[in-house]
């Protein structure tokens, strides 16, 4: 599957969840997204991450809305306030599930190549690739700095974490970014025109049509209902 198709499917989920604004739709979309995520990854990472993201937000929604309603059932607790908080929590959970399920079908190199061949997509491809790879690059750099400090017998703790860990990591990431920028400029990164790739990501006519028709259909469903 082309990564743009997966992202379009995730966007369709967002359109339905936000447009229909129904707890039933939110729960249904959450279930569908989790099933698709498990089928793709062959593990429970998508449902687990969805729960990890949704539980704190859901609890905050309940704390904010539960005391304020007209149907009081206990001190600082109202039935309609609980319903509003639960609906908002379900909606947030559905949005996160749709996003995570879509990302599960996307590989960063394929996404960058798919964006690169679009008109004016070379800069967008670089921004997307750099942003999505920032976390793994940062994690790898943290490990390198920790190992270097251990070899120097300079332990990292709360009092010196800024000088011995954070600043070296930031300096290394900025230096690497500057080096990549110079290499891209030398390779003609800023030149106008379309880009080609040696092995483009498969993209059939059906997928191209689906990326256009599916969002329009979702908007039509929202307007009709």
DSSP state of 2: -
Determine the pLDDT at residue 163.
84
In the chain, the DSSP E strands lie at 72-74, 77-78
Determine the pLDDT at residue 178.
73
Q: What's the average pLDDT block by block, 10 residues per block, for the chain (225 residues)?
A: 89 93 92 93 90 90 84 82 89 93 86 74 68 76 86 81 85 78 62 66 86 92 88
Determine the pLDDT at residue 115.
75
Q: In the chain, what is the straight-line distance between the N-terminal and C-terminal CA atoms, in Å?
A: 30
DSSP string, 161-208: HIIIIIHHHHHHHHHHHHHHHHHHHHTTTT--S----SSPPP--HHHH
User: 3-state DSSP: the chain helix, strand, coil percent, rounded to 5?
Assistant: 75, 0, 25
Under 8 Å between Cβ of 132 and 111: yes
């Amino acid at each position: 599957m082309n990564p743009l198709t997966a992202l379009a499917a995730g966007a369709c989920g967002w359109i339905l969840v936000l447009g229909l604004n129904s707890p039933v739709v939110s729960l249904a979309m959450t279930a569908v997204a989790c099933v698709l995520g498990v089928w793709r990854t062959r593990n429970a990472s998508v449902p687990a991450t969805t729960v990890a993201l949704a539980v704190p937000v859901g609890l905050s929604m309940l704390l904010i809305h539960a005391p304020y309603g007209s149907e009081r059932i206990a001190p600082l607790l109202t039935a309609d306030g609980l319903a509003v908080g639960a609906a908002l929590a379900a909606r947030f959970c559905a949005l996160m599930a749709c996003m995570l399920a879509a990302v599960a079908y996307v590989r960063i190199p394929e996404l960058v190549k798919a964006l690169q061949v679009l008109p004016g997509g070379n800069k967008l491809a670089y921004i997307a690739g750099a942003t999505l790879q920032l976390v793994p690059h940062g994690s790898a750099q943290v490990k390198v700095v920790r190992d270097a400090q251990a070899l120097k017998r300079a332990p990292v703790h709360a009092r010196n974490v800024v000088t011995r860990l954070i600043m070296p990591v930031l300096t290394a990431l900025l230096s690497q970014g500057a080096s990549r920028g110079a290499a891209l400029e030398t390779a003609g990164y800023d030149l106008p025109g379309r880009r080609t790739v040696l092995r483009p990501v498969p993209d059939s006519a059906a997928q191209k049509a689906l990326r256009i028709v599916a969002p329009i259909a979702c908007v039509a469903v929202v307007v009709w209902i």
